[in-house]
Amino acid sequence: MKTSVFCISKLQWIIIPLSLFFVFTSCDIKTPKAISSSTSQKNPPPSTKVTEVPKGTPKSESAPTIETPKPPMTEEKSVPKKNKIDWSNPVAVLAGNYGNLLICDKKEVKLLEHILYYADSIHAKKIPYSQATANDCSGTFIRMNEYLNKFCPESSFPSFKVVRSTRDLVKYYHDAKQLVFIKTPINSDSLIQPGAVMFYTHGGRGGKLEITPQNMQSLVNHVGVVYSVERDPTTGVVKNYLLFHGQNPKRGIGITKYHLESLMVRVPSLILMVMVLNSGWQLRQ
């Protein structure tokens, strides 16, 4: 149950874990500004350590990149009753602030702190972008999910055994009923929350066609996870957000800063989609 959750001139969005129809040589979505690697010190969970990412990715088995860290203490809060949360509705899950909540063995596992720690650790390593070693946008996302799976092995996070490309991810989350197509991003920016998974398409067909289950795999070409969000203190509208993702061969893997206004005005062909990260919980229902 993971919740993984963006824009265009005729902007459309979607909430999904990822998938893509074509194999791209890069996952470029315009020129982002890389933030300082000092963020690597912001979110260290207790007694957690990270090892080097392996250079090769086995084709037929999962490719874990990080040692199993000792997870932060799991809160023994009462688990929300299933009849109070519509887990099949990604929008409702996000609106109820359950987007990063994983129900594991009757305990709550808050995925966001693990997501932030993983992103900080990988960002600090300055890992090069490479499709050959699965260090591209989809590979980076899948590795993060395999890391999160360590905190709740019985959940169903996407892994290299099941998916590999962005097109695989989109289909995976659509089949899990976690994909939400958004036609007017400016009116749906409340869905942009830390931990949300975002799918993008840009240029040509991507900025002109309405995204549907039938064409989504051919339009999507990038994916990332929202690291943090800055909102207007008065209106609550998103001003900026940080994204953790594998960028392209020139920029590598890391956390970058985006300006929502520039995405929606200067890059109108960029399509944004969102996914909820607690798919493991939903798939176990």
User: Do residues 15 and 275 lie in contact, with contact meaning Cβ atoms separated by under 8 Å?
Assistant: yes
Nearest to 276 by CA among 36, 11, 16, 31: 16
Count Cβ atoms below 10 Å from residue 259 Cβ, excluding itself.
Answer: 16
Which pLDDT band holds residue 69 (cuts at 50, 70, 90)? very low
User: Do residues 162 and 19 lie in contact, with contact meaning Cβ atoms separated by under 8 Å?
Assistant: no
Which pLDDT band holds residue 95 (cuts at 50, 70, 90)? low
Q: How many degrees, rounded to 5, is the angle at CA 257 between CA 256 and CA 262? A: 130
- Rounded to 5 degrees, what are φ and ψ at 82? -60, -30
Cα(30)–Cα(107) distance, integer angstroms: 40
- DSSP-based helix, strand, coil % in the chain, nearest 5: 25, 20, 55
* Tens digit of each residue's pLDDT (9 = 90 or more) over 251-272: 899 999 865 655 554 433 344 5
Which pLDDT band holds residue 44 (cuts at 50, 70, 90)? low
The ranges assigned to domains in the chain are 2-283
* Bridge partners (DSSP) listed for residue 226: 243
Nearest to 273 by CA among 16, 9, 10: 16
pLDDT surpassing 80 at residue 29? no
**pTM for the complete prediction?**
0.69
